[in-house]
């Protein structure tokens, strides 16, 4: 601040991560966006919560405090699926998990209010705030918790990606205008908004689990800027108001945000404490698009980023790849060219772009792909070919997850895309996520049937053989998802042994995270579609046993991969 001649900041951002200045880090993107708009921005990463030293370091902001739990929900970051404390943290210098408090947002809000009485507004953002914005099941306390604005005692919340809402809210606060009509924000009101969807109250959800499913259905179906209405939820004597989502960014706006002057480094303040592991992955990676319409029930990307794909232009992506040459530690290896789902780049459903996402109709589920959705990998193929031609690029990997069902569904370009991947963009193994093989479990997960996986594996093996490559598939699998019993894990093990001829290593115990239908299933023990009772494993030891069933080592004849 002294070097810049500042005696105050307009906005101070507080985060559960160390400050990594990368386009992959939400709070860094917010800081750079506000900077471009002409605001003075301060950043406090992982403040000491036992004293005021860190939180008071930059003084009090002129406009507001922006508070985020970090790139991951703090409870997910701090605990495993079986509620054991995690010793490591990929967003903390030195890798030791000793800087991020549980329920980081509420802790930071309390810290600010403790040291700055009657301060400027507290604005929440990021994934922890976004996914906890209405009443939600919290796995770690095994309780239905109130919307996070009530527990944190913050003033307003920006949900989703919220880029446009951020600009409008900052301007409104700066000009002392009412911000309660801005799309993409939540706030607390003494009065309901009658024109909005009226959600079950927090107390009704506590009293009746079916009411909680009703609430989540409304929450889930009102996340699209074109189709959504606002939401109003009674909480005690007040109301949580969620305005409709702000608009998605256009391709030009996506490009402009990607051009912001990120250093792609850990801030020098943290250098003495060591490196941050996540930077190894994201420093020389390229995010090609936002959004995912895969709608896996255990994943919150659709609720947070949205179910409509927003892409960057090829020119802008190629410019970023070329800019890597400016860095001394760049060795010509691009770690990832992808997004939430790598092979959704460059195409969308025309009906969705015009009318918004469909209510109760998914683009893809366990049984079929919607006829309106036409997977087309041609633009993605051309992008990857151009990236390989950028001066200085030795190898450009696609490390993001790939939906294999979209490859097999694309009869025109799917084969060509996979061939391109096998030949140029895989680092020894390709990650796919079947998660399970039992149809009733797949349906509860929202994942495609196992025959699709069998067909894809045959094609993948064929292409590897033709290219003379010995590259494997890595399978992500989930144990103890709602609906899954031990007998289902034995069947999954049999399938991996007999059909895939491998020993799974990437199996994880299911974690019920806020903002997902799978967490709703876990809490209610019901299928949200049919309201029928389903089996849910809640015993920690038996959850771990489900995992051990599938990762147990089998001996294979030579030539099989593990």
Whether the predicted pLDDT of 221 surpasses 80: yes
In tens, the pLDDT along 145-161 reads 999 999 999 999 999 99
Range(s) of the chain covered by CATH 3.40.50.280: 11-186
CATH of domain 428-562: 3.30.750.200
Better-scored residue on pLDDT, 10 or 554: 10
Report how far residue 135's alpha carbon sits from residue 179's, in angstroms, rounded to the nearest whole number: 23
Q: What are phi and psi of 526, to 5 degrees?
A: -135, 155
Residue 369 confidence (pLDDT): 87
Mean pLDDT of 268-272: 91
Range(s) of the chain covered by CATH 3.30.750.210: 284-423
Mean pLDDT of 62-78: 97
Residue 366 confidence (pLDDT): 67
End-to-end CA distance of the chain: 54
Residue 560 confidence (pLDDT): 43
Residue 218 pLDDT class (50, 70, 90 cuts): very high
* CATH top class, domain 284-423: alpha beta
299 marked as binding residue? yes
Q: To 10 degrees, what angle do helices 314-323 and 378-389 make?
A: 30
CA nearest to 330, candidates 273, 266, 268, 391: 391
Report how far residue 532's alpha carbon sits from residue 530's, in angstroms, rounded to the nearest whole number: 5
Asked if residue 410 lies in contact with residue 377, where contact means CB atoms within 8 angstroms, the answer is yes
Mean pLDDT of 374-401: 96
Provide the 3-class DSSP secondary structure of residue 525. Answer: coil
In tens, the pLDDT along 23-60 reads 999 999 999 999 999 999 999 999 999 999 999 999 99
Work out the percent of the chain whose per-residue pLDDT is above 70.
98
Mean pLDDT of 123-139: 98
Whether the predicted pLDDT of 202 surpasses 50: yes
Range(s) of the chain covered by CATH 3.30.750.200: 428-562
Provide the 3-class DSSP secondary structure of residue 431. Answer: strand
Asked if residue 3 lies in contact with residue 266, where contact means CB atoms within 8 angstroms, the answer is no
Residue 175, token pair as written in the block: 């000009």
CA nearest to 243, candidates 258, 255, 230, 256: 230
Q: What is the pTM of this model?
A: 0.94
Residue 271 confidence (pLDDT): 86
Whether the predicted pLDDT of 557 surpasses 50: no
Whether the predicted pLDDT of 562 surpasses 60: no
Q: Is 123 exposed, middle or buried (0-12, 13-18, 19+ CB in 10 A)?
A: buried
Mean pLDDT of 440-446: 95
Mean pLDDT of the chain: 95
CATH of domain 11-186: 3.40.50.280
Whether the predicted pLDDT of 306 surpasses 80: yes
Residue 372 confidence (pLDDT): 87
In tens, the pLDDT along 405-417 reads 999 999 999 999 9
Whether the predicted pLDDT of 433 surpasses 70: yes
Query: What's the order of all strands across the beta sheet hosting 472-479?
Result: 429-435, 472-479, 506-509
Report how far residue 146's alpha carbon sits from residue 204's, in angstroms, rounded to the nearest whole number: 12
Residue 555 pLDDT class (50, 70, 90 cuts): low
Whether the predicted pLDDT of 375 surpasses 70: yes
Residue 361 confidence (pLDDT): 79
Asked if residue 92 lies in contact with residue 100, where contact means CB atoms within 8 angstroms, the answer is yes
């Amino acid at each position: 601040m002294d070097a810049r001649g500042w005696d105050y900041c307009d906005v101070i951002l507080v985060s559960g991560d160390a400050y990594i200045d990368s386009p992959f880090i939400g709070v860094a993107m917010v800081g750079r966006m506000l900077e471009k708009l002409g605001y003075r921005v301060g950043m406090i990463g992982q403040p000491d919560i036992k004293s005021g030293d860190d939180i008071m370091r930059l003084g009090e902001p002129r406009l507001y405090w922006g508070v985020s739990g970090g790139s991951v929900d703090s409870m997910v970051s701090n605990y495993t699926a079986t509620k054991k404390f995690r010793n490591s943290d990929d967003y903390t210098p030195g890798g030791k998990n000793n800087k991020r408090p549980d329920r980081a947002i509420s802790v930071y809000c309390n810290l600010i209010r403790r040291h700055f009485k009657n301060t400027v507004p507290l604005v929440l953002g990021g994934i922890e705030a976004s996914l906890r914005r209405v009443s939600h099941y919290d796995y770690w306390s095994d309780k239905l918790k109130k919307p996070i604005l009530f527990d944190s005692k913050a003033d307003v919340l920006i949900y989703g990606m919220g880029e446009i809402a951020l600009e409008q809210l900052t301007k409104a606060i700066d000009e002392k205008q009412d911000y309660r009509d801005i799309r993409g924000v939540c706030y607390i009101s003494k009065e309901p908004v009658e024109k909005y969807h009226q959600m079950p109250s927090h107390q009704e959800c506590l009293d009746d689990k079916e009411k909680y499913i009703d609430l989540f259905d409304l929450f889930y179906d009102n996340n699209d800027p074109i189709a959504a209405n606002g939401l109003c939820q009674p909480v005690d004597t007040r109301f949580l108001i969620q305005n409709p989502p702000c608009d998605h960014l256009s391709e030009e706006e996506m490009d402009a945000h990607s051009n912001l002057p990120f250093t792609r480094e850990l801030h020098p303040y943290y250098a003495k404490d060591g490196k941050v592991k996540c930077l190894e992955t994201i420093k020389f990676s390229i995010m090609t698009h936002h959004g995912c319409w895969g709608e896996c029930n255990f994943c919150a990307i659709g609720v947070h980023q949205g179910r409509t794909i927003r892409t960057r232009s090829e020119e802008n992506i190629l410019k970023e790849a070329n800019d890597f040459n400016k860095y001394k530690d760049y060795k010509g290896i691009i770690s990832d060219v992808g997004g939430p789902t790598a092979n959704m780049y460059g195409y969308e459903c025309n009906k969705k772009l015009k009318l918004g996402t469909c209510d109760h109709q998914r683009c893809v589920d366990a049984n079929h792909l919607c006829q309106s959705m036409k997977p087309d990998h041609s633009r993605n193929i051309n992008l990857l070919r151009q990236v390989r031609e950028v001066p200085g690029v030795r190898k450009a990997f696609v490390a993001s997850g790939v939906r294999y069902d979209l490859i097999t569904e694309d009869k025109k370009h799917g084969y060509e895309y996979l061939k391109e991947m096998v030949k140029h963009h895989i680092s020894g193994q390709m990650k796919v996520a079947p998660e399970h093989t039992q149809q009733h479990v797949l349906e509860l997960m929202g994942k495609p049937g196992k025959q699709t996986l069998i067909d894809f594996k045959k094609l993948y093996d064929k292409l590897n053989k033709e290219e003379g490559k010995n590259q494997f598939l890595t399978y992500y699998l989930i144990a103890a998802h709602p609906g899954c019993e031990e007998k289902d894990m034995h069947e999954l093990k049999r399938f991996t042994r007999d059909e895939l001829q491998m020993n799974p290593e990437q199996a994880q115990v299911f974690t019920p995270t806020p903002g997902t239908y799978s967490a709703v299933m876990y809490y209610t023990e019901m299928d949200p579609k049919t309201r029928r009772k389903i089996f849910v494993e809640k015993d920690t030891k038996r959850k771990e046993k489900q995992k051990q069933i599938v990762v147990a080592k089998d001996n294979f004849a030579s030539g099989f991969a593990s």
